[in-house]
Chains A and B, each alone.
Chain A
Amino acid sequence: DTAVSQTPKYLVTQMGNDKSIKCEQNLGHDTMYWYKQDSKKFLKIMFSYNNKELIINETVPNRFSPKSPDKAHLNLHINSLELGDSAVYFCASSQGYARSYEQYFGPGTRLTVT
């Protein structure tokens, strides 16, 4: 069983479109995250939810909107896609929102905006 799953794995779309990425974890974790990894492999946190409550909201354009319908799911909706949004987006989860918990990453969604 996959611990953290994401769909789709690849997403190719045109500028201006709206798209969503879905994430689910079956680990029973309370905290979920969205990370963006750019072409230089730099991993930057975007959002974090703990028990469906938004706890981290980094400096991310408001075209990005996360939604957590329950603590096992965290989706990411992106409006008006831009070329600079092309990246790999990773969902992750951890047991709780504390400094010492390891994070489990999903397989990633490679977004290409043309």
Chain B
Amino acid sequence: GQQVMQIPQYQHVQEGEDFTTYCNSSTTLSNIQWYKQRPGGHPVFLIQLVKSGEVKKQKRLTFQFGEAKKNSSLHITATQTTDVGTYFCAGPSNTGKLIFGQGTTLQVKP
């Protein structure tokens, strides 16, 4: 079946360092969504990418959707302790349900 893979599973960085998580789908996606889950919290929608090669920025966060619409990345510049959490990518299956990646858990050392 359709799979969405994310790497790395965990990342520990020093505050101020950059961070990137990568997402790969086994099939072409119509769009990709990113969510953030703070420790003890619930997933919160961050952004959706729809177009091939699309790049969107939210302050220090940069999201990219690959040209083939099968991969995506989230890059955080100069991490802060408020960036701590698990970042999920999610892509819709051809039946409409969202398939989530395994998530990348980011820890930031002050």
Residues in chain A within 8 A of chain B (CB atoms): 40-45, 48, 55-56, 58, 90, 92, 97-100, 102-108
| Listed A/B pairs (30) with beta-carbon separation below 8 Å | A40-B102, A41-B86, A41-B102, A41-B103, A42-B100, A42-B102, A42-B103, A43-B43, A43-B88, A44-B100, A45-B97, A45-B98, A48-B97, A55-B96, A56-B95, A56-B96, A56-B97, A90-B43, A92-B43, A98-B96, A99-B96, A100-B31, A100-B48, A100-B50, A103-B43, A103-B98, A105-B42, A107-B41, A108-B41, A108-B42
B73 interface contact, C-beta 8 A? no
- A40–B86 Cα distance when bound, in Å, is 11
Cβ of B86 to closest chain A Cβ, rounded Å: 6
- A40–B100 Cα distance when bound, in Å, is 13
B interface residues, tally (CB under 8 Å): 22
Residues B49-67 near A (CB distance < 8 A): 50
- A55–B88 Cα distance when bound, in Å, is 24
A-B contacts counted at CB < 8 A amount to 52
The majority secondary structure among interface residues of chain B is strand
Contact between A41 and B37, CB atoms less than 8 A apart: yes
Contacts of B33 in A (CB 8 A): 102-103
Contacts of A108 in B (CB 8 A): 41-42
